[in-house]
Amino acid sequence: MSDRVSLERYLELVTQKLLARFPFFGILLVPMRLVPSEQHPTAATDGRAIFYNPDWLESLRKTDEHVLYVLAHEVCHPALGHLWRVGSRDRLKWNICCDLVVNDILDACGLSGPSGTLRFGDTFCGVYMDPAWRGLSEEEIYELMPDPPGKAASPALGGDILDPARDGQAKDSPGNLRDVWRDRLVRAAHAARCRGSVPLGIERVIDGVLRPRKNWRTVLAEFVQPVKHDYDWRRPDRRLLPDLYLPTIAGEGLEDLVVGVDTSGSTWNEQETFLAEVEGILRSYPYVSVWVMTCDAKVHQVWHADQDTPILRRLAGGGGTSFVPVFDRIRELGINPTGVVFLTDGDGEYPDREPPYPVLWVLTARHHVTPPWGRVTVLDREV
């Protein structure tokens, strides 16, 4: 693009280029005003407009790719709800966490950021941006990240996530903006998918906002469903009053549920948590037949359990990680499971092919690997 056009015209041309290459980001950008502002050292957004420092943006103008990155970066903040998810958190620290997530998405899309773009593995404000945080939510990263010392300067890119209700704006503006941006997100996602293959980074934006993560026990309740319900009115449920007759489930047709427990060295500190969750499954689903298998690079322990079965307190393992042996053992035992629930950090060897039954991967909060197939949830206290 020619340097002779005005900066305002140049930004119009860059917006058209973003629409052509990345319609998802471009559609989100079009309704936003682009406002020059010397109050901001780089760029910022309040969800209604993108404010940019003209001198700073002019310095990036020689490389269109960098300007594309800046605009896509700024629309990601309201698209991901960063403006209203901040709550009472420190805004600088929250901004750093959000920038890490956004820049990781843009890098996955193949965009090239300007100098100073914050990434996992960098040290910023004296704090190491641990790559193990990749894949975690902004809130999870915030809890793990040490507080930056002093009043350090904001990141070079996306320096401010502005308060949508600032400067006398209506108090309900953030709520209105949430609805506006959700509608924009739905339309942008539909348009991007109609164009064919959607880059992985964009899918993460769409899935993260349109399908927010549920508490893992809610996901488990949806996952563990009887394949049929045969109600028998002839026998009373003994847990009820003697003269009260209600239907009981007689032969629900439930096949075995398999619970795999990762006992590799990388999950050794999670063993007590895993055992507690196994016990919770047995208590919560007394009519489900459960096989429990512990595995690192091989299956170590197998037991057929119910709510009255004592749980082993010492789990064998501590080596490398492969999930393949559990699926091999299921086949060897002739089990036709209604599903498999695997408690793990996700870091291991997966079978080449997805099995013919559903699989739920329950990942530790600090996981950094996403399974290639199956349903995924995260083991946490609350969502």
Per-residue pLDDT at 13 exceeds 80:
yes
pLDDT in tens, 50-68: 999 999 999 998 889 999 9
Per-residue pLDDT at 173 exceeds 60:
no
The DSSP annotation for 225-292 comes to --S---EESSS--TTS-TT----EE-------EEEEEE-SGGGGGGHHHHHHHHHHHHHH-TTS-EEE
The two tokens of residue 74 are 């700024």
Q: Which residue has the tokens 């020689």?
A: 62
**One-letter amino acid for residue 65 of the chain:** E
pLDDT (mean) for 84-105: 89
Write down the domain spans for the chain: 7-210, 216-379
pLDDT in tens, 15-33: 999 999 988 899 999 999 9
Domain 216-379, CATH: 3.40.50.410
Highest mean pLDDT among 84-98, 154-168, 307-321 belongs to 84-98
The two tokens of residue 129 are 């941006």
pLDDT (mean) for 341-369: 89
Looking at per-residue pLDDT, the higher value among 222 and 350 belongs to: 350
pLDDT (mean) for 184-202: 75
Strands (DSSP E) found in the chain: 33-36, 43-45, 49-52, 123-124, 127-128, 160-161, 231-232, 248-249, 257-262, 290-295, 299-305, 339-344, 359-364, 375-379
pLDDT in tens, 233-250: 344 444 444 443 433 433
Percent with pLDDT over 90 in the chain: 35
Per-residue pLDDT at 253 exceeds 50:
no
